[in-house]
């Protein structure tokens, strides 16, 4: 028995316009023998597992036969320094500009009688022709491709509707008076008497094209950013590294050239190039950019360190243990991509309905034409009824239903510090019943803060801050910075220490204004035979039980105080939790900190103790979200760190704090620019309101069509009235969307 080895291939797919396109390609690829494929519409990529007997070229040819393009992905191109758009977006924008510039006067002349001069019909035709042909070409091309494969989407509706409106207008202008007795030139009578010009629908053809093209352009811009979370993750790492050679020399090389076993130097303030083990030196490592947790990690020889974290203290020599795709950063990037592939892109409601609606309308139009011809009504009457069916079904209101509500809703959201990435996000907001809150940077400030000073009896608190703050001001350790900043805020300018020394892993010591000062762990004081008095021991124990970091202060051989340092809860977090509960959501606190810290924060903001999930590793946050979903919950996730990116993508709704990392922001569905957790409640309210508006728009857009289609088919609705009904439905949809401007954030 022969076993065929499996090969993994990634393809970049082009030409997809909706989620059904991805499903069609996926279905075709999976029909190939020995092929398993998943196609991601958001990232425009296909992940394929296949046997060695199936070549990459075979896969590409299968995709191309389906009507799309495929190629092996090229390395990501850097953004243009001048902010230029890529070619495909630039082409779409040029078509949009052309459509808007030419369609506006066409619509104006059709709607305002004062602008209808003697030859206005021919000017309208001249302006509308390039809109329907050149600007609308992407719709016609996609509709043709779909037709070849027996499918119908919104592109089919747009193409059929605009072509019918434009074609009928051509017939009315050129042939509408043919056969009139005594007419010498068909154009002459049309211009002189206006016969047939009442049945012009050039403004419908041009307007529909311009409106839908605008929505398609902004959709394309948003979709292009779908893979930015992965790019943001990978860009966190160091670009260059200083490698220590066997002869003792140093050489700076690109990180890609680093090999497992190499030893490299990490100076204070530099990023650690890759995962490894410390072989020399000791320091505090700031892992917040990767873990989202603000408390620094003390490392000494033998300690493991992670690539992309920041050396916030002393000089380190690290031996690389994992490089390239094996690093924790690379694995987190893979988690984000897996979460994206596992989360099916929401297909637009209009596309789902149009898959049935379009063929029905076309069949009804052809049936109407055949019925009236068979009953001897004459070619003109039959064609008029058939075109009326197509015109009333023209997707102007249908196409405006989503973009206008989204435009107004997102515009209002931007004013309130809420960014909604697209209409597919909105459907998730309706069902969510659980909101998972990352602690650090979301519920808390995300930075170490001096919370309290506990001075021994007879010791002045201001003097404690003055002496301890002066010594800590000379250190770059994050805890030291918190003490120094707190001292500066409360007592003002600080003296300059003398004989300053950093004691790795324990604290700092020096002379301040003639006093020998120690600031650090209790063990540092013990090395100088200084013991904390009972009152300070009690305060230290109480603070540590609440999850605070406690440091001791001593001078002149005597313990004087203990300082509480921690990540402070944001002032607005408790109110935000109350608002989220009012929306029917159950808040869950998720953190990598220990349970004592987590429960202390939960009590402070009003989260139940049984809804606290603590001591969660960064890579396990996705599993927590999956577990909650497996329990039948619909989960919203609020986070701000790189470690939250995969969980934000896995959640039914991801809300990224704008004060966080780019990776989290790009992975989220909603971005809260204000960095205020109360905005999460406002974002969900706004998203639900916008979704409700879209749904009501779609209902009325179809209601007009459904009500008028039988009248049109019966010959009781001529194309002019059909166009008027279509225009009214569009006005209604736009007016309904504009109501979102009145949305207000809760104060």
pLDDT in tens, 480-499: 989 999 999 999 999 999 98
Mind listing the pLDDT tens digit for each residue in 381-418? 777 677 777 767 655 566 567 667 776 777 777 667 77
Q: Is the pLDDT of residue 515 over 80?
A: yes
pLDDT the model gives residue 221: 64
Q: What is the mean pLDDT of residues 30-46?
A: 81
Query: What are 437-474's pLDDT values in tens digits?
Result: 988 778 888 778 898 999 999 999 999 999 999 999 98
Q: Give whichever of 62-76, 264-278, 332-346 has the largest mean pLDDT.
A: 264-278
Q: CA quadruple 251, 252, 256, 259: dihedral positive or negative?
A: positive
pLDDT value for 517: 95
Q: Is 322 left (phi over 0), alpha (psi -120 to 50) or beta?
A: beta
Across the chain, mean pLDDT equals 79
Could you tell me if 209 and 139 are in contact, meaning their C-beta atoms sit under 8 angstroms apart?
A: yes
What pLDDT digit, counting tens, does each position of 89-107 carry?
Answer: 788 889 989 998 998 898 8
Q: Which residue has the tokens 């033998």?
A: 302
Best-predicted range by mean pLDDT (139-148, 170-179, 560-569, 730-739): 560-569
Q: What is the distance between the alpha carbons of residues 569 and 468, in angstroms, rounded to a whole number?
A: 24
Euclidean distance between CA atoms 468 and 461, whole angstroms: 11
pLDDT of residue 2: 45
Per DSSP, the three-state class of 79 is: coil
Find the mean pLDDT for residues 585-611.
88
Task: Please say if the pLDDT value at position 30 is more than 70.
Answer: yes
Range with lowest mean pLDDT among 152-166, 297-311, 556-570, 617-631: 152-166
Q: What pLDDT was estimated at residue 332?
A: 60
Ranges 18-27, 133-142, 286-295: which has the least confidence: 286-295
pLDDT for residue 266? 92
- Per-residue pLDDT band for 319 (boundaries 50, 70, 90) equals very high
438 catalytic per annotation = yes
- Cβ atoms of residues 667 and 654 within 8 Å: yes
For the chain, first and last CA: distance in Å?
Answer: 71
The pTM assigned to this predicted structure is: 0.57
* pLDDT (average), residues 13-38: 81
Q: Quick one: tokens of 441? A: 């940077």
- Of 50-64, 189-203, 214-228, 434-448, highest mean pLDDT: 50-64
Long-range contacts of 676-679 (CB under 8 A, 24+ apart): 676/417, 676/570, 676/572, 676/576, 677/437, 677/442, 677/443, 677/570, 677/572, 677/573, 677/576, 677/577, 677/638, 678/572, 678/575, 678/576, 678/579, 678/745, 678/746, 679/416, 679/417, 679/418, 679/745
- Say how many C-beta atoms besides its own lie within 10 A of residue 86's C-beta: 12
| Residue of 163 and 555 predicted with greater confidence | 555
Question: Could you read off the pLDDT of 529-546 as tens digits, one per residue?
Answer: 999 999 999 999 988 887
Q: Which residues contact 185 (CB under 8 A, 6 or more apart)?
A: none
Look at residue 291 in the predicted model and tell me its pLDDT: 55
Lowest mean pLDDT among 44-48, 327-331, 443-447, 560-564: 327-331
Mean pLDDT over residues 726-746, rounded?
77
pLDDT band (50, 70, 90) for residue 178: very low
Query: For residue 702, which of 388, 401, 427, 386 has the smallest C-alpha distance?
Result: 401
Could you report the per-residue pLDDT of 352-385, keeping only the tens digit for each? Answer: 555 566 677 778 888 988 998 888 887 667 776 7
What average pLDDT does range 188-193 have in this prediction? 30
pLDDT for res 357: 67
Please report the pLDDT score of residue 338 as a whole number.
Answer: 54
pLDDT digits (tens, 9 = 90+) for 669-720: 787 867 788 889 998 998 888 888 888 887 887 777 677 788 888 878 655 4
- Asked if the model's pLDDT at residue 59 lies above 90, the reply is yes
Sequential DSSP letters for 175-238? TTTTT-TT-S-HHHHHHHH-TTGGG--HHHHHHHHHHHHHHHHHHHHHHHTTTHHHHHHHTTS-
For 340-353, what is the mean pLDDT? 44
The pLDDT of residue 81: 45
Catalytic residue among 438, 640, 652, 669: 438
Q: Is 657 helix (H, G, I), strand (E, B) or coil?
A: strand
């Amino acid at each position: 028995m022969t076993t065929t080895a499996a090969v993994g291939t990634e393809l970049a797919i082009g030409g997809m316009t909706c989620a059904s396109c991805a499903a069609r390609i996926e279905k075709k690829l999976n029909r190939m023998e020995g092929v398993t494929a998943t196609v991601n519409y958001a990232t425009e990529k296909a992940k394929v597992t296949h046997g060695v007997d199936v070549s990459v070229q075979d896969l590409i040819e299968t995709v191309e036969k389906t009507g799309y393009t495929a190629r092996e992905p090229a390395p990501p191109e850097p953004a243009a320094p001048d902010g230029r758009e890529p070619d495909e977006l630039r082409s779409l924008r040029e078509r949009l500009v052309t459509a808007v510039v030419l369609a506006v006067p066409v619509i104006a002349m059709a709607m305002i009688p004062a602008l209808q001069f003697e030859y206005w019909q021919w000017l309208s035709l001249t302006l509308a022709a390039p809109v329907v042909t050149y600007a609308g070409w992407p719709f016609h091309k996609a509709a043709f491709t779909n037709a070849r494969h027996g499918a119908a989407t919104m592109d089919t509706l747009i193409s059929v509707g605009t072509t019918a409106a434009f074609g009928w207008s051509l017939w009315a202008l050129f042939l509408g008076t043919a056969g009139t007795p005594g007419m010498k030139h068909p154009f002459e009578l049309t211009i002189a008497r206006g016969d047939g010009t009442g049945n012009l629908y050039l403004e419908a053809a041009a307007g529909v094209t311009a409106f839908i093209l605008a929505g398609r352009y902004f959709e394309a811009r948003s979709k292009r950013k779908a893979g930015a979370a992965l790019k943001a993750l990978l860009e966190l790492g160091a670009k260059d590294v200083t490698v220590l050679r066997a002869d003792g020399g140093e050489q700076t090389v690109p990180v890609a050239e680093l090999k497992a076993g190499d030893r490299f130097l990490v100076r204070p303030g530099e990023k650690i190039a890759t995962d490894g083990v410390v072989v020399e030196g000791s320091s505090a490592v700031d892992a917040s950019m990767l873990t989202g947790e603000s408390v620094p990690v003390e490392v000494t020889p033998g300690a493991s360190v992670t690539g992309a974290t920041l050396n916030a203290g002393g000089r380190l020599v690290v031996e690389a243990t994992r490089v390239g795709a094996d690093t924790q950063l690379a694995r987190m990037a893979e988690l984000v991509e897996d979460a994206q592939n596992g989360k099916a892109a929401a297909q637009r409601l209009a596309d789902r309905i149009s898959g049935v609606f379009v063929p029905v309308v076309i069949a009804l139009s052809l049936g109407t034409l055949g019925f009236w011809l068979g009953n001897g009504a004459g070619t003109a009457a039959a064609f008029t009824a058939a075109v009326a069916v197509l015109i009333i079904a023209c997707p102007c209101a249908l196409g405006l239903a989503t973009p206008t509500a989204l435009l107004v809703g997102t515009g209002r959201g931007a004013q309130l510090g809420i960014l909604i990435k697209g209409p597919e996000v909105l459907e998730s907001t309706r069902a969510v019943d659980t909101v998972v809150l990352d602690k650090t940077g979301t519920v808390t400030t995300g930075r170490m803060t001096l919370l309290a000073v506990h001075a021994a009896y007879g010791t002045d608190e201001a003097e404690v801050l003055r002496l301890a703050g002066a010594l800590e001001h000379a250190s770059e350790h994050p805890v030291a910075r918190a003490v120094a900043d707190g001292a500066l805020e409360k007592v003002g300018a600080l003296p300059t220490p003398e004989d300053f020394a950093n004691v790795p892993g324990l604290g700092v010591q020096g002379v301040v204004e003639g006093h020998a000062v120690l600031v650090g762990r209790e063990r540092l004081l013990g090395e100088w035979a200084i013991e904390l008095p009972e009152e300070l021991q009690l305060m230290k124990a109480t603070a540590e039980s609440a999850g605070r970091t406690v440091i001791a202060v001593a001078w002149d051989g005597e313990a004087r105080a203990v300082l509480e340092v921690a990540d402070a809860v944001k002032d607005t977090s408790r109110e935000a939790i109350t608002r989220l509960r009012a929306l029917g959501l159950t808040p869950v606190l998720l953190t990598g900190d220990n349970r004592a810290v987590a429960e202390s924060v939960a009590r402070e903001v009003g989260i139940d103790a049984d809804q606290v999930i603590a001591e969660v590793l960064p890579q396990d946050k996705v599993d927590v979200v999956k577990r909650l979903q497996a329990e039948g919950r619909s989960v919203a996730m609020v986070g701000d760190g790189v470690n939250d990116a995969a969980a934000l993508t896995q959640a039914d709704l991801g809300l990224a704090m704008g004060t966080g990392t780019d990776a989290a922001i790009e992975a989220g569905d909603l971005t809260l620019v204000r960095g205020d957790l109360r905005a999460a409640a406002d974002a969900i309210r706004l998203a639900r309101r916008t979704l409700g508006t879209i749904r009501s728009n779609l209902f009325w857009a179809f209601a007009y069509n459904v009500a008028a289609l039988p009248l049109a088919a019966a010959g009781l609705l001529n194309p002019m009235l059909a166009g008027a009904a279509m225009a009214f439905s569009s006005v209604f949809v736009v007016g309904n969307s504009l109501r979102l401007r009145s949305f207000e954030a809760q104060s």
